[in-house]
A and B are shown apart, each in its own frame.
Chain A
Amino acid sequence: MLTKLTARLEQGAVIVAGTNGKTTTTRMIADVFELVPWRVVHNRSGSNLVRGVIAAFVQRASLTGCPGGEIAVIEADEAALPELVRRVRPRIILLNNLFRDQLDRYGELDTIGKTWRGVLKDLDAGTTVIVNGDDPALVAISDSLAAKRVCFGLDETTHRLDVLPHAADAAVCRVCGADLAYHALYVSHLGDWYCPNCGRKRPELTYTGSNIQLYGVESLALDISEGEGHSHHLTVGVPGLYNAYNALAAASVAREVGVPWELIGQAFDAFRSAFGRIERVQYKGRDLTLALVKNPTGFNEVLRMLTAETGGLALPTMIAINDLDADGRDVSWLWDVDFELLARGKGDLYTTGLRGPDMANRLKYAGVALDRIHSLPNELPAGLDAFVEAVPEGYAAYILPSYTAMLALRKTLADRGAVDAFWEQ
């Protein structure tokens, strides 16, 4: 049924894959398409498995089997990608990044890479594979395909990392096995890479992001150039360097299906974060910024965003870590996050969640002074109440929850009628 429905889409289907930023990137692409205007079939609700996608189609399909839209944008999780590609025969596949996620959910990275390679090899020239050229692993699995490959990446002077974060897998040259080096490293193992041994390097970029401006936890701006053409200045209503990558990826997809830059700019400027990814809430006179943390790379980038301006943590911060299925039952991943960043700064750290004590212990070993670490009750909302109590009225604070902790916090805040400042702007 899915195969039939997608075959009837006038503009075809786009599949978005990657460990981090899928939901945001998918929404960005859908928002751009809606300005065209196309009617977009989109598995918006985070239901990114095959049956969720079918449900999205069924919702929009008429009884005669017409898909009720011109184009589909489908968020595919790592495991579902092969089946979705087989059934949907997409016009475009976007490979955004491949980071280490909770391993008990997806198996190891090598395995995912091999599976994806198998899928991509079977595609014909009717599909365009849009690849983050800054990710050497994704470049390796998308080399010499029958399908057309288009790469995007950053050429950025300000926002660079000095060393590979602990969460990143040391990248190895797929040709000669030597360790890769970087002219510039941006996020995790993403950057302008090359092999010092055999000369293999980042492929030619069709879409290049540069001149990135980060505005705290609010928004960002960047320039994107297409081929040899002049660059386009875009403002994006979500913060953090990782969202610059997401915007660059979304713009590459939009351009490949022929959407004018003007519409891309409009959609990005109006874009706001998805529920729970990052949002601001006024609650009991406190200005709370919530940012979801779901894996080491995502957590590292959030910490980078919070400490960028002052070089340390300036505001009181609550970290809420659960270990339910959707969080990953193994909390080992906390040891791959570079919490050492938090050892500087005056902001106190509060821990809660089913594994709050693991988090507090992690901070201790990261070198955070003991008088800055406060253990709250593990249960939510008791942990939230204690935190809000500790933050003086009129002050701002950060909350960094894992996935199910975010759901619990969001429900509490909604039940209590907290004003969601973000959506009221």
Chain B
Amino acid sequence: MTTESPRCLVVGWLYGTKMNIYGDRGNVLAIAQRARWRDIDVEIREIGFGESIPDDVDIFFWGGGQDQEQVAVSHDMQGEKAEQLRTSIENGAAMLAVCGGYQLLGHEYRPHNGEPLRGIGLFDATSMAGPERFIGNVVVNSRWGILVGFENHSGLTWLGEGVEPLGKIQVGCGNNGQDGTEGAIYRNAIGCYLHGALLPKNPALTDWLVEMGLRHRYGSADLPAIDDDLERRAHETAMQRAFTTR
């Protein structure tokens, strides 16, 4: 028996109340629950408009918003704040960004009409409004094994040369419907178009984020295995539905 105080993690939820569509809060819930089930304390902090990025965040989550919010968010995530976020990632913090958040981690997003929205350039990637909407179940082969999710986006993302995608599309359209890639990875930051919510039914990816968060805080991570029976079933069902429906 050890008597040391329990480990803890700080989760930073970027624009939580403003960018939370498609049930993406399930990702924050998955990170928090899977950490708590290992007796790791979790503090969830929302980082809103005009608020700076705390330097002790271990895992960031950034979801998608409606068009109006996306514009406001891109204006807010500039200058010093963008620099703080990039620095956190360079220092090893983990991150998952989905859809709108993913697009703003690239250089820019070009809408059909109006000014391009400037991103923070963490990923060497550029997004633009596309002619159609990609909607449906997705299966991706990744270094965490098969990932399952649901895409619903009209934006197309093109990765720069040498950028590692999250994975290769097995079912669905992915970044742009053409090059077979989905998402992007830089250090411990992941961006992608996968809703679902993504993390609850891809526990290997969730545990990796928790592990990277622990490494960021403690320099090492020891994550005991837990019962994943329900997660595994949800994962398998999503995969079957993807093959049946697309």
Interface residues of A (CB under 8 A from B): 100, 103-104, 108-110, 166, 170, 323, 329-336, 354-358, 360-362, 364-365, 367, 370, 373, 375, 378
Proximity bits, B117-144, A CB within 8 Å = 1, else 0: 0000000000000000001110000000
10 tightest A-B CB contacts, nearest first: A335-B23, A335-B26, A332-B23, A357-B233, A361-B234, A357-B237, A357-B234, A332-B22, A330-B150, A361-B230
Find out whether the CB atom of B233 lies under 8 angstroms from the CB atom of A329.
no
28 sample A-B contacts, Cβ–Cβ < 8 Å, listed by A number: A103-B22, A108-B66, A110-B66, A110-B67, A329-B135, A329-B136, A329-B245, A330-B135, A330-B150, A330-B195, A332-B22, A332-B23, A332-B195, A332-B197, A333-B23, A335-B24, A335-B25, A335-B26, A335-B29, A358-B237, A358-B238, A360-B234, A361-B201, A361-B231, A362-B200, A364-B230, A365-B26, A365-B200
The CA of A331 and the CA of B242, in the complex, are separated in Å by: 12
State the Cβ distance, A340 to closest chain B Cβ, in Å: 9
Closest to B236 in A: A357
Interface string of B55-89 (1 = CB under 8 A from A): 00000000000111000000000000000000000
> Shortest CB–CB separation between residue B113 and chain A, in angstroms?
14
Using Cβ atoms and an 8 Å threshold, which residues of chain A touch B33? 365, 367
Q: Which residue of the partner chain B has the closest CB to A364?
A: B230
Q: Interface on chain A toward B: helix, strand, loop, or mixed SS?
A: helix
Q: Which of chain B's residues 191-246 have a Cβ closer than 8 Å to chain A?
A: 195-197, 200-201, 227, 230-231, 233-234, 236-238, 241, 245
Chain A residues within 8 Å of B201, by CB: 358, 361
In contact, B200 and A357 (Cβ under 8 angstroms): no
Q: Once bound together, how far apart are the Cα atoms of A334 and B23, in whole Å?
A: 7
Residue of A nearest to B32 (CB): A365
The complex places the Cα of A370 from the Cα of B37 at a distance, in Å, of 13
A360–B233 touching, CB < 8 Å? yes
Interface residues on B, range: 35 or more
Quick check: is B18 within 8 A (CB to CB) of the other chain?
A: yes
A103 contact set on B, CB distance < 8 A: 21-22, 152
B238 to chain A, nearest CB (A): 7
Smallest CB separation, A71 vs chain B (Å) = 37
Q: How far is the CB of A224 from chain B (nearest CB, A)?
A: 33
Bound-state CA distance A361–B196 (Å) is 12
- Chain A residues with CB under 8 A of B25: 166, 335-336
CA distance A355 to B25 in the complex (A): 19
Closest chain A CB from B125 CB (angstroms): 23
Q: Is A365 within 8 A of B137, CB to CB?
A: no
- B225 to chain A minimum Cβ distance, whole angstroms, is 16
Q: Which residue of B lies closest to A360 (CB)?
A: B230
State which of B66, B200, B241 has its C-beta within 8 Å of the C-beta of A109: B66
Taking a contact as CB atoms under 8 Å apart, the answer to whether B66 and A355 are in contact is: no
A330 to B195, CA, bound (A): 8
Contact B22 A330 (CB under 8 A): yes
CB distance from A357 to the nearest CB of B (A): 4
Q: Are B152 and A358 in contact (CB under 8 A)?
A: no
Cβ of B30 within 8 Å of any chain A Cβ, yes or no, is: yes
| Given contact pairs A166-B20, A358-B238, A361-B201, a sample of 17 additional A-B residue pairs in the complex whose CB atoms are under 8 Å apart | A103-B152, A104-B135, A108-B21, A108-B66, A330-B150, A330-B152, A330-B196, A331-B150, A335-B24, A335-B25, A355-B237, A355-B241, A357-B230, A360-B233, A361-B230, A365-B30, A373-B230
Taken together as a complex, chains A and B put the C-alpha atoms of A166 and B234 apart, in Å, by: 22
Residue from the set A333, A356, A364 with the largest chain B CB neighbour count within 10 Å: A364
Q: Which residues of B contact A354 (CB under 8 A)?
A: 237, 241
Which of A330, A331, A335, A367 has the largest count of B CB atoms less than 10 A from its CB? A335
Q: Give the residue of B20, B21, B197, B233 whose beta carbon is less than 8 angstroms from that of A375.
A: B233
Q: Is the CB of A361 within 8 A of B241?
A: no
Assembly CA distance A378 to B33 (angstroms): 26
Chain B residues whose CB sits within 8 angstroms of the CB of A334 once the complex forms: 23
Q: Please state if B234 and A329 are interface contacts (CB–CB under 8 Å).
A: no
Give complex CA distance A67, B233 in Å.
54
Q: Which residue of A lies closest to B23 (CB)?
A: A335
Q: Chain B: which residue is nearest A107 at the CB level?
A: B133
Residues of A within 8 A of B150 (CB): 329-332
Interchain nearest-CB distance for B205 vs A (Å): 14
Q: How far is the CB of A80 from chain B (nearest CB, A)?
A: 20
Contacts of B66 on A, CB cut-off 8 Å? Answer: 108-110
**Pairwise interchain contact A110-B237, C-beta atoms closer than 8 A:** no
The minimal Cβ–Cβ distance linking B131 to chain A, given in whole angstroms, is 16
**A330 partner residues in chain B, CB cutoff 8 A:** 22, 135, 150, 152, 195-196
